[in-house]
Amino acid sequence: MQENPTGADIRQSFIDFFAERGHTFVPSSSLVPGGDSTLLFTNAGMVQFKDVFLGTDLRPYTRAVNSQKCLRVSGKHNDLEQVGRDDTHHTFFEMLGNWSFGDYYKKEAIGWAWELITEVWKLPKDKLWATYFKDELNEIPEDREAADIWLAQPGFNPDHLVPFGRKENFWEMAETGPCGPDTEIHIDRGPEFCELCDDPDHVCQVNGDCGRFLEFWNNVFIQYNRLSPTELVPLEKTHVDTGMGFERIVSILQDTPSNYKTDLFMPLIIRIQKLAGQSNAEREANLTPYRVIADHARATTFLIADGVVPGNIGRNYICRMLIRRAARFGMKLGLHDPFMAEVSQVVIDEYGNFFPELKRNATAILDNLTREEKRFAKTVHAGLEHLDELLSEIKTSGQTVLAGEKAFDLYATLGLPLEITRDIAQEQGLEVDSAGYEQAMEAHRLISGAGKEFGGLNGDDVESYAALMEALHTSGKLPRSGVRYDPYQPVAEPMEVLALISNGEPVDEVKPGDTVDVLLPQTGFYVEAGGQVSDTGQIVSAKGDGWAIKVTGMRKPVAGIILHTGEVVHGTPKVGDRAVAQVDQARRVQIMRNHTATHLLHAALQDVLGRHARQAGSLVAPDHLRFDFNHPEPMSRTELLAVEAQVNQAILANYQLRIAQKPLDQAINEGATALFGEKYEGIVRTISIGDDQPLSYELCGGTHVEETSDIGLFLITYEGSIAAGIRRIEAVTGWQAYQLARARMNTLEEVNARLGTASAETVIKVENLLQTLGGVEKENQKLRKQLVGSAFDENLENIEQIAGIPVLKAVLPNATMDTLREMADKFRQKNPSGVAVLATVQDGKPILIAAITEDLVKRGLHAGKLVQKVAGVVGGGGGGRPTLAQAGGKDASKLAEALDQVHAYLHGTLD
């Protein structure tokens, strides 16, 4: 790499390095996670690969390299309040990663990491440190493999390898699921980076509390599947998942004291400085506003590019809050007119080559920023004044906390987000009751009628959709009941495009590349409900003049309005055009297979486990299904296989599905299963499967196959716990099930080829191998014991006389506590009167045993006291009976010195 590399050079050199080693470059996925409704924003590089690790997604590559856009503003990793106040925290950041999906493992991962940082990036080897996993509870095996690979790296200082326990070096995706040890790379930036060196008790160290040692790369080795807090099983395929904070490595390679001083931020900061008309000295005196604005400008530019525009709820609220927070910090620099678009333009210029979505959506980004700043400007002064009054009142009355209800009022009426209220309160040493804020918001949502159902994460402006609905009804284009919704019989005829909505506003036409919401008088696209995901597909011009919109999702902002969300592929769609909407049928068929299989699974679980195994949640997606149910304990393998077999029997029986509409009362009386927490009214839709005595009978609005054999094959891929008393099953059907079975068979065939055996004999052959291996291990142990024995015999000749007593002190190589005990017995058999103290080193730590014959115990000697005195020197302790006691210690290098204590003890006790 060239001298003085730019951030873009560094990112590219990372990608090139791994691409040259067979990795496929995978573009960053959106900040809005696809298919994971539990996550507000993509917050780590592995989000888009999660399903690959879980085995439910297959990719055409086994090695990947990427730089992932990430955002952390809420939830567990919430650094918002830190952002701007120090040199390293950001809301938006990039994560560089290289990935192995069942391909290479620790040797290559560590070797390449070392090669990249020392050969390509030329980081000084003597400043680099590595950590590896050693379980403090001694339950999970130590990662000796990683440690040994580190020690073999050319020029790696063996003293720079340090073990850490679970918190630092064991990675888990969740309470259950894939997990494994990791190894972190740290750099020693030198004593000048330590801000605690005045403290005499402070020690600069890896994972310490000062800024001197900086972790910049974590390599995770996924090798286990966690089934419960105490149960780990090895994974069939092991994976590598690495993450390097991009801003951090750029700061290291550009040798800047702060991430904000790198060329990733400086162009933004200089633009802010020009806008504010400040000198360099003024800028350095006001760093916090500069950092906040630069950080939030990056975050909001990328958010809007990914379709998240400012709004009231969920993701859209975050976008709004970040723009307003940046605007408020701008006021501290004297910036009162909208300025964010100016800063954002620098972000687009600096990052647009690598992230083309920024250039593609530049107009939308800049417009949205300015529009939101103008909206905020209307009320911000009144809001800040009112907040000031409230805070003064609190101080006068001697309180310290602003009521959540008041904070919510400030947002609802004057547009001041909670986060800004909190910033200002904190600047005056006060707090805000966040829980009270949430309660007030919830109460408001219920009163205003904007039910949760429509709020979701979309943050739509409910009033303007209601107005649109009213206008279309008045002009006779939509009935009072709104869009006709029938996902069971897709519409083939052309329909009129009633409205196009872009960036939250109705528009007359849209251009290629625009994201758009399309409103049609009726739709056959399924809208996410009851766990089944929305349909995708396309809307094309009926005139054949070639416009097309790719539909990626569906939503229902208010009752009666159903929108197809997507992107214009080509042409210029206009309001009033006639169009045909086509559901992606292949995807829909796979969803239908999974939905019907979900009903069969529910029935089989109740049959095998009992009636208590009721549904507690589900996800029906095209590539897999997920089913949560009540059950107090893990399912046994027999139970799982029985459930799987029952579902497949029902598939082979080829039952016709009977779908009917009937009054709710009648359905319930007939025994149909209603799902807890779902709302049913009037006429309901029922699905029954089976003969006259149906196997499964449920209330359900989802789409289903016509007969069960359409499902093809059903395979369970996972069973685990998600909460107390609730289990989760994941499964695949149809083509995915075939692919999974094929992949497993490939593995088995490969194993057989290596073992040189036929399928029927694999298990026998593996058992034989394990047995042989066990025999070799036993033999090995025996030999080791013999070696210790002969070392001991040599020592028996070195018995000294101390205070007239025969004494044996010896350090035996490669022994265990058991062998030490045997040797101690042997000593006592050969010496009717005497003292023996034997030691060895196990896993780098000393262990000791002391034996004293009965006659000497009568003279006042005590093995427990003796061993304690000796172990004290090696930093440990122990105890036991007067005749036999054992101890452990920490420092093996002091063993010889420790054994000298025997002399002092004997003289001290007997003389």
Instruction: Kindly list the residues in this chain that would bind Zn ion in the complex (CB under 5 A).
Output: 194, 196, 204, 210, 212, 700, 702
State the nearest-atom distance from the C-beta of 34 to Zn ion, in Å. 22
Q: Which is nearer to Zn ion, 383 or 702 (CB)?
A: 702
Q: How many residues does the chain have?
A: 911
State the nearest-atom distance from the C-beta of 158 to Zn ion, in Å. 23
In SS3 terms, 423-480 reads as HHHHHCCCEECHHHHHHHHHHHHHHCCCCHHHHCCCCCCHHHHHHHHHHHHHCCCCCC
- Please state, in angstroms and as integers, the Cα–Cα distance from residue 298 to each residue in 290, 458, 606, 833, 855, following that order: 12, 21, 51, 80, 81
Instruction: Sort 500 into a burial class: Cβ within 10 Å, 0-12 / 13-18 / 19+.
Output: buried
**CA distance linking residue 553 with residue 563, whole number of Å:** 8
Q: Which is nearer to Zn ion, 141 or 190 (CB)?
A: 190
State the nearest-atom distance from the C-beta of 702 to Zn ion, in Å. 4
State the nearest-atom distance from the C-beta of 219 to Zn ion, in Å. 25
Structure tokens at 120: 């390509």
Structure tokens at 208: 């310490």
Q: Which is nearer to Zn ion, 212 or 828 (CB)?
A: 212
Q: Which is nearer to Zn ion, 520 or 675 (CB)?
A: 675
Beta bridge partners of 538: 550, 582
Phi, psi of 778 (to 5 degrees): -60, -45
Structure tokens at 37: 């409704």
For residues 176 and 227, the answer to whether their CB atoms sit within 8 Å is yes
Q: Which is nearer to Zn ion, 196 or 653 (CB)?
A: 196
State the nearest-atom distance from the C-beta of 730 to Zn ion, in Å. 17
List, in sequence order, every beta strand (DSSP E) within 499-547. 499-502, 505-507, 515-519, 522-523, 537-541
State the nearest-atom distance from the C-beta of 657 to Zn ion, in Å. 11
Q: What type of residue sits at position 34?
A: G
Q: What type of residue sits at position 800?
A: E
State the nearest-atom distance from the C-beta of 443 to Zn ion, in Å. 33
State the nearest-atom distance from the C-beta of 50 to Zn ion, in Å. 25
State the nearest-atom distance from the C-beta of 600 to Zn ion, in Å. 11
**CA distance linking residue 705 with residue 483, whole number of Å:** 25
List, in sequence order, every beta strand (DSSP E) within 295-398. none
Q: Which is nearer to Zn ion, 646 or 688 (CB)?
A: 688
Closest to 644 (Cα-Cα) out of 586, 711, 693: 711
State the nearest-atom distance from the C-beta of 847 to Zn ion, in Å. 34
State the nearest-atom distance from the C-beta of 840 to Zn ion, in Å. 37
Closest to 61 (Cα-Cα) out of 34, 101, 92: 101
State the nearest-atom distance from the C-beta of 654 to Zn ion, in Å. 20
For residues 358 and 280, the answer to whether their CB atoms sit within 8 Å is no
Q: Which is nearer to Zn ion, 657 or 892 (CB)?
A: 657
Q: Which is nearer to Zn ion, 210 or 580 (CB)?
A: 210
Q: Which is nearer to Zn ion, 131 or 868 (CB)?
A: 131
Q: What type of residue sits at position 750?
A: E
Structure tokens at 520: 């049609």
Beta bridge partners of 539: 549, 581
CB atoms within 10 A of CB 486: 10
List, in sequence order, every beta strand (DSSP E) within 664-762. 683-690, 694-699, 714-723, 726-733
Q: Which is nearer to Zn ion, 700 or 799 (CB)?
A: 700
State the nearest-atom distance from the C-beta of 627 to Zn ion, in Å. 11
Closest to 365 (Cα-Cα) out of 380, 349, 381: 349
| Cα dihedral sign, 154-160-165-169 | negative
The region, left, alpha or beta by phi > 0 then psi within -120 to 50, assigned to residue 659 is beta
Q: Which is nearer to Zn ion, 471 or 589 (CB)?
A: 589
Q: What type of residue sits at position 347?
A: V
Q: Which is nearer to Zn ion, 210 or 653 (CB)?
A: 210
State the nearest-atom distance from the C-beta of 531 to Zn ion, in Å. 7
State the nearest-atom distance from the C-beta of 675 to Zn ion, in Å. 8
**CA distance linking residue 150 with residue 170, whole number of Å:** 17
Q: Which is nearer to Zn ion, 301 or 532 (CB)?
A: 532
Closest to 223 (Cα-Cα) out of 235, 211, 205: 235
Q: Which is nearer to Zn ion, 126 or 897 (CB)?
A: 126
Residues 6+ apart with CB under 8 A from 47: 29, 33, 36, 39, 68
Q: Which is nearer to Zn ion, 601 or 899 (CB)?
A: 601
**CA distance linking residue 149 with residue 645, whole number of Å:** 45
